[in-house]
Amino acid sequence: MRQEQIHAAIRIVKREIRRWREPVLGIVARESDRDPFLILISCLLSLRTKDKTTDEASHRLFALARTPETMLKLPIKTIEQAIYPVGFYRTKAKSIHQICRQLLDTYGGIVPDSVEELVTLSGVGRKTANLVVTVGYGKPGICVDIHVHRISNRWGYIKTKTPEESEKVLRNTLPKRYWITYNDLLVPYGQHLCLPVSPLCSQCKLTDSCDRVGVTKSR
């Protein structure tokens, strides 16, 4: 995929994903009026966890607490019970407590709005930090999860080996007006059509511009 083709590709992806359910973090953002704290915690829960499980766990947890102050008052065991069966739920429960303590001690209970500060919080990597910055604060940033990394390379739009490297390259390649929405578009596209193994290329409307890098079998 050449640089000039990215505009048409994003228009097509934006149209195609309307048939699928909105990703859970988009739902949390919309229902919470883009509360950075709730987005941060939901993103932490979503790591290595399916959307349906994350959605249910988020609702259970936020029914108990919705701020760093009230969350910190919950026993870790209570948080574990609320978020089970998300992946690594015990570790995540401890991280949530630590994050709330850090937010209260260092930031006055306010979630910071920069990637550099967010990654200092317990269990927060660049993917989560970029999501909070873009979805919670509407500031420029590129969240690169495994779908964004895989599809961008499969298209031939970039050539990288890790999501971290993809973020750096995309910051120099992707037009800035797409930064905030790029992850929101490619995640459902990667979950439902541009699958990791045997993607549904026969149903994809990007076949003319996609280089299909690494695709050995498709449907």
The catalytic residue among 35, 55, 92, 127 is 127
* Residue ranges of domains in the chain: 3-21+142-203, 35-137
Q: Is residue 159 annotated as a catalytic residue, yes or no? A: no
Residue range 35-137 in CATH 1.10.340.30: yes
Task: Clarify whether 145 is annotated catalytic.
Answer: yes
- The full DSSP string for 50-106 is -HHHHHHHHHHHHTT--SHHHHHTS-HHHHHHHHTTSTTHHHHHHHHHHHHHHHHHH
pLDDT of 192: 94
Whole-angstrom Cα distance, residue 70 to residue 152? 40
Q: pLDDT tens string for the chain (219 positions)?
A: 999 999 999 999 999 999 998 888 888 999 999 999 999 999 999 998 998 999 999 999 999 999 999 999 999 999 999 999 999 999 999 999 999 999 999 999 999 999 999 999 999 999 999 999 999 999 999 999 999 999 999 999 999 999 999 999 999 999 999 999 999 999 999 999 999 999 999 999 999 999 999 999 999
What are the structure tokens assigned to 144, written together?
Answer: 């690169």
User: How crowded is residue 77: how many other Cβ atoms within 10 Å of its Cβ?
Assistant: 10
Q: Catalytic: which of 145, 168, 208, 211?
A: 145
Q: State whether CATH 3.30.70.60 applies to domain 3-21+142-203.
A: no
**Ranges of H-type helices in 108-213:** 115-118, 126-131, 137, 146-155, 163-173, 179-192
Number of other residues whose CB lies within 10 A of the CB of residue 82:
23
